[in-house]
Amino acid sequence: MKRTLIILASAAFFFISVPNASAQSKSFSMAKWVEVYNSILKELNRSYVDSLQVGRIQRAAVDAMLSALDPYTLYVPEEEREDFQMQLTNTYGGIGAVIFKPDVNGNVLINEPYEFSPAARAGLRCGDEVLAIDGVSTHGLTSAESSERMRGKPGTTVVLSVKKLRGETVDVPVVRERISLPSVQYVDMLNEADGYILLDKFTDGVGQSIRDAYHTLKKKGMQRLVLDLRGNGGGLLNEAVNIVSLFVPRGSVVVTAKGRLAGSEEVYKTTTDPVDTEIPIVILVDSGSASASEIVSGALQDYDRATIVGTRTYGKGLVQSIRPLPYDGQLKVTTAKYYTPSGRCVQAIDYSHRNEDGSVGFIPDSLTHEFTTTHGRKVRDGGGITPDFIVKGQKYSRLIYSLVYSGIVEQYALKYVCEHESIPPVDEFHFTDFEDFVAFAADKEFDYRSSARALFDDMKKALKEDGLTDAVASELSALEKSLDMDKATFLRLKKDEIIPFIEEEIVVRYYFQMAGIRVRIRYDQQLHEALKQPAISW
């Protein structure tokens, strides 16, 4: 909080020096609350009945202050800068492996070593059990604590005591490196004509990566490009500009950022020659596509350069800037709203009220404005990018979410690896031993209720609170009996829904992450439906 107070005090001094009534009023208000805050903190420190955790309440005060503005303005203290930088760059110092800890009193399991990572080169494999990290037993450590001990400065060595999958226990020294998680997660042909790029984040250099991916796919015969931005929460604005630059003429406006102060408007244009202004482009979006994803899809839609397919995007039309603070802290602060080339602001009219999946709720046309694309098509603002063709993603049952979030599928994949030395190549592998999974999952504790049964249980509680249970006892009993289903039976009922998740978890442990994406594509109904949509024409 000391950092924030210095900023506030400096701002107050600045406003006092300006001979303007409103400025003086604002500076007085700021100075007043700085004084009140300091007085409260001093009195608490002097009089509060218990020992005062000053750091904790100061951080709570800062977070509460910033939360009153918007969800994206955040304070990042020095100790959190590395995690924050990882979000921006997709890099960290470590061994390059995902770990799994099913029990806090157990050991750590190597879940997924990244391809070509220090962990993979050191011979660590899925199912290996880490007994100690630099001599510190993993018993009692949380998964996060174990991960933190494995991370560190690139070039340093961490020694893992490992019980190998086949039984022997060895010490494995691993030299940490700068691990870069790829933002472009997958590049390949879907068929003879359609090239596919899966982009996860807009991190530094991703525009060049997309350029390289385009050339790779053209050499393979690509006639149409599919750019998948589903679930892509955004990132660096300049990289969004770089990607749009690949497909529209040099000098085209991509996005305009407008701040509060007069003269703060900044126009971002393409500054390089495009690689292709003719190839048909399909962009896949959903409610998780936000910020830079909306800049790319919005700009290419405005120029009638791409066909947008999927569901309406998140609706984050705000620009954040990073400001340095004292003691190596940082402030990520919203400084502007951005507008697509047609003039649309994709910011949701009310970002504090959304659907359960994070998507923008219903917005009547009377609250939005109409804009026109290059070739005269009508588009609207007010809440994300509305696709040219609405194609909904697959809906999953409550059971699937429970299996995934409780780690049942992940644990089964580890069991499978322990029992199978190898599997067929990815495109030939199909999981066939579903009864083995049923037996495994049925023995585990997790909430396997159907959505209907969960609603029924909530209804029973409400009826009990209202004193109506006895009045509807016979009806409740009959309904409960019809909804009752044992765990194994319900798992078998959802077999077709569960198998794709099992296959993906298994193949990544033999063939790494790209193999998992290949399995995901195999079952991606929304992607396959998107390929059937006609290109935008004029």
User: Which residue in 302, 381, 388, 524 is the catalytic one?
Assistant: 302
Half-sphere exposure of 242 (CA within 13 A, CB side): 16
CA distance 494 to 159: 43
* Total residue count of the chain as it appears in this document: 538
Pairing of strands 253-258, 266-269: antiparallel
| Catalytic site includes residue 470 | no
As given in the structure block, the two tokens for residue 252 are 């085209």
Start-to-end C-alpha separation, the chain: 56
Angle formed at CA 87 by CA 405 and CA 401, multiple of 5 degrees: 15
Token pair of 291 as six digits: 């910020």
Query: How does DSSP classify residue 117?
Result: S
Residue of 289, 291, 293, 342 with catalytic role: 291
Residue 504 CA, chain-centre distance (Å), reads: 19
Residue 229 identity: L
- C-alpha–C-alpha distance, residues 112 and 116, integer Å: 12
Strand order in the sheet with 281-285: 184-189, 194-199, 224-228, 281-285, 307-310, 389-390
- Asked whether the beta carbons of 205 and 243 are under 8 A apart, the reply is no
Query: What is the C-alpha to C-alpha distance for residues 77 and 75, in angstroms, rounded to an integer?
Result: 6
**Residue 103: partners with Cβ closer than 8 Å, 6 or more residues away:** none
Distance CA 385, CA 289 (A): 9
Tell me the C-alpha to C-alpha distance, in Å, between residue 184 and each of 8, 181, 210, 212. Answer: 41, 9, 7, 11
Which of 200, 316, 332, 388 is catalytic? The answer is 316
The residue type found at 316 is: K
**CA dihedral for 266, 267, 273, 276, sign (positive or negative):** positive
Does residue 302 have an active-site annotation? Answer: yes
Residue 504's H or E segment, with its range, is: helix 495-511
3-state secondary structure of 137: strand
- 157 near 149, Cβ under 8 Å? no
Tell me which residue of 195, 298, 287 sits closest to 240, measured CA to CA.
298
Amino acid (one-letter) located at 265: E
Distance CA 21, CA 11 (A): 16
Catalytic (active site) residue 291: yes
CA-CA-CA-CA torsion for 453, 455, 459, 461, nearest 10 degrees? 80
Q: Which of 385, 433, 381, 394 is nearest to 412 (CA)?
A: 433
Question: Taking the CA of residue 306 as centre, how many other CA atoms within 13 Å lie in the half-sphere pointing to its CB?
Answer: 31
Residue 334: CB atoms within 10 A of its CB come to 18
Q: Are 160 and 171 in contact (CB under 8 A)?
A: yes
Question: Which residues carry out catalysis?
Answer: 291, 302, 316
